[in-house]
Structure 1
Amino acid sequence: MLRRAGAWRVLRGALGSRVPNVSRALIAHSSGGRGDAEPRPLPLSYKLLDGEATLPAVVFLHGLFGSKTNFSSIAKAVAGQTGRRVLTVDARNHGDSPHSPDVSYEAMSQDLQDLLPQLGLVPSILIGHSMGGKTAMLMALQRPDLVERLIAVDISPAPTTSVSDFKAYMTAMKAISIPQKVPRSQARKLADEQLRPIVQDTAVRQFLLTNLVEVDGHFSWRVNLDALAQHLDQIMAFPPQQQSYPGPALFLLGGNSQFVQCRWCLMRATGFTPTAHRTSWLPSGASWPKMETPGFTSTWLAPASTYDSGKALSMYEGAEAGECQL
């Protein structure tokens, strides 16, 4: 069903917008993942903002612990500034998408390879943050015919195993205990208090708490903590590839990022044609550049997505940004 939302028409509740009977991990009870193998691909939850059908659509892919709602504001801004269709998607094991024991990038890429053609959104501009960036990179390498161009935010094809906080976060989330049938505000407060000793950054705690949901009086995490914790090393890595992506690609990195260093991009951006991709460093600090950098949407994303196909991908023309050509 199409629904008017300001200047944008939003497609809600269609293919996989919410999968019924998806089990969630009850807090203070077992948070077990699924033991049965599920077929791939999975029907992902998504939201589509309408736009000009003749232009390549923009697809936003969130990071670990995230969801499509992370991009609600920026998706509307990009749609308004470019006139394009903009899709936000919940990855498997996140948001309203179904759970699966398979958290591999191959599976996440296959989910998109199934969904995007069904929606008539290929080739599209893929914009992926962190885990979503790796999913976008793999899809570009596997199916370059489906990708008009690629923007990877705060991630590269390099391993990110040096970041160890994620496992501690998941352990803390699984240990939380919340009584049944307490008001949501109280449940959120209790969860925040119990997370604080381990997750000391307030912004990170608030981000993790977006995953706290209530189902029939019980509070649970909508992310599949067991599967993600069990395969965290796989999520931090990147699958070896023999393919190459000849299209334009931009690696957009936070200046204070703990996930990417410039030398990694120079050494590890294999499979991406050197003349067709580049790396730009945002001038201010960010492991979360989309939220922390003023003017991120207008300066960095929208201009790039408006370029005609075949033109060099460039979002920022300032040497002070630390741009390095690959």
Structure 2
Amino acid sequence: IAYELVQGALVRWSTVGSSARPPPTCVFVHGILGSRRNMLSFAQRLTREFSSWQVLLVDLRCHGESARHGAASHRPNGVESAAADVLDLLRHLKLFPEVLIGHSFGGKVVMSMADQFGRIGPRLPRPVQVWVLDALPGAVREHHASDLRLRQDHPADLIPSLQAFPVPTGSRTTLQTYLVQSGFSQRVASWVTSNLKPTQEDPRKLSWTIDMKGIAEMYESYESLSYWPFLSAPTQGIKVDFVRAENSSYVWPMDDVERLKAYGHRVHHLPQAGHWLHADNPDGLLEILAPTFTYARASTNK
């Protein structure tokens, strides 16, 4: 799968070819219909604040450059396969991450990664902190509140609408207009157009950079899979925290929140943020995440 490493200043200035242990690594996983570009700004912010760290950004299967490469087509499209792809990449890069961060769909991907870590053996090389951003471990529930804006841009509605949109198209504006008229926000309509590119046959026409059928299969997997069994007894050394956006597009039932706490997992509340919490309130999110990077950095330097 396609990736890039965002490195802090101290990592970039370290001696090339050094035999020392690799710098502490965080893996940041995007949501459905996204790409590593969505996480780049926040990753750069993290590495400016914690300059001895590096952040691995990936394009999940069926997304971004990974879709263009036809990555890992031998596995069925789903959460577990997406997680296995990232684990394969980490093995290729000879990296073991101290921190996993996943947004939305990516939240279940990082939980699956942590679950698959536990199947490798009874002990991990070092502790792993998992951060799940605005996603729950079980069945997906969308808001049914009177404020329809909370339901407006839900992937369960967006993906079928995109599948129904005829491509190739003559312009990004055509897609934006179609989505807004279908009830989606201008913000999402503009964002989705980043998944269009000129066709080889006619550069004046645009088609998907993504595998839309594969993405639909991945989202179906996301809705159906539950990671409650993993959270009830994670492998020793794995810690899982959740961040709930104040204006989340998803219902966070109090029973689920209390269950997470009963299992020993923390649930943090991020104010002034919708589902794209890393873009809506990056300062607040960084404040929540910061202790993890400070503690892990200190442990690494011992």
TM-score category of the 2 structures, normalised to the smaller one: 0.7 to 0.9
Task: State the TM-score, normalized to the length of structure 2.
Answer: 0.76
Structure 2 residue matching 1:295: 3-state secondary structure? helix
When residues 280 and 297 of structure 1 are mapped into structure 2, their CA distance, relative to the original with a 3 A threshold, is: closer
Deviation at 1:175, TM superposition (A): 3.1
Structure 2: runs of 5+ lacking an equivalent: 12-20, 119-123, 144-150
Structure 2 residue matching 1:283: 3-state secondary structure? strand
> Does 1:79 find its partner at 2:69?
no
Deviation at 1:199, TM superposition (A): 4.0
Q: Give 1:131's aligned residue.
A: 105
Determine which of 228, 234, 248 is the counterpart of 1:244.
234
When residues 298 and 234 of structure 1 are mapped into structure 2, their CA distance, relative to the original with a 3 A threshold, is: closer
When residues 192 and 257 of structure 1 are mapped into structure 2, their CA distance, relative to the original with a 3 A threshold, is: same
Determine which of 275, 290, 296 is the counterpart of 2:278.
290
Percent identity between the two aligned chains: 27
Pairwise CA RMSD of aligned residues? 2.8
Q: Give 1:36's aligned residue.
A: none
Corresponding residue pairs, total: 260
> Does 1:45 find its partner at 2:2?
yes
Q: Give 1:8's aligned residue.
A: none
Alignment deviations for residues 82-121 of structure 1 (CA, whole Å, 9 cap, x no partner):
1201111011111111344722221111111111122132
Q: Give 1:150's aligned residue.
A: 130
When residues 200 and 109 of structure 1 are mapped into structure 2, their CA distance, relative to the original with a 3 A threshold, is: closer
Q: Which moved more, 1:102-111 or 1:228-237?
A: 228-237
Deviation at 1:130, TM superposition (A): 0.5
Contact 2:167–2:208 at 8 Å: present in 1 too? no
Structure 1 residue matching 2:273: 3-state secondary structure? coil
Q: Give 1:255's aligned residue.
A: 246
Q: Give 2:38's aligned residue.
A: 70
Q: Give 1:232's aligned residue.
A: 219
Q: AA paired with 2:257?
A: L
Determine which of 89, 94, 97 is the counterpart of 2:63.
94
Q: AA paired with 1:211?
A: N
Give distance in 1, aligned partners of 2:27 and 2:195.
22
Deviation at 1:197, TM superposition (A): 1.5
Q: AA paired with 1:244?
A: P
Determine which of 204, 207, 210 is the counterpart of 1:223.
210
Q: Which moved more, 1:203-212 or 1:227-236?
A: 227-236
Q: Give 1:18's aligned residue.
A: none
Contact 1:78–1:301 at 8 Å: present in 2 too? no
Q: Give 2:29's aligned residue.
A: 61
Give distance in 2, aligned partners of 1:233 and 1:300.
30
Alignment deviations for residues 2-26 of structure 1 (CA, whole Å, 9 cap, x no partner):
xxxxxxxxxxxxxxxxxxxxxxxxx
Give distance in 1, aligned partners of 2:35 and 2:128.
23
When residues 82 and 135 of structure 1 are mapped into structure 2, their CA distance, relative to the original with a 3 A threshold, is: same
When residues 179 and 280 of structure 1 are mapped into structure 2, their CA distance, relative to the original with a 3 A threshold, is: closer
Alignment deviations for residues 226-269 of structure 1 (CA, whole Å, 9 cap, x no partner):
23334533221324546624422210110121324152543654
Contact 1:47–1:89 at 8 Å: present in 2 too? yes
Give distance in 1, aligned partners of 2:112 and 2:157.
27
Give distance in 1, aligned partners of 2:263 and 2:167.
52
When residues 310 and 274 of structure 1 are mapped into structure 2, their CA distance, relative to the original with a 3 A threshold, is: farther
Contact 1:255–1:284 at 8 Å: present in 2 too? yes
Structure 1: runs of 5+ lacking an equivalent: 1-43, 312-326
Give distance in 1, aligned partners of 2:142 and 2:172.
30
Give distance in 1, aligned partners of 2:192 and 2:56.
23
- Say which structure is richer in helix: 2
When residues 298 and 110 of structure 1 are mapped into structure 2, their CA distance, relative to the original with a 3 A threshold, is: closer
When residues 231 and 121 of structure 1 are mapped into structure 2, their CA distance, relative to the original with a 3 A threshold, is: closer
Q: AA paired with 1:93?
A: C
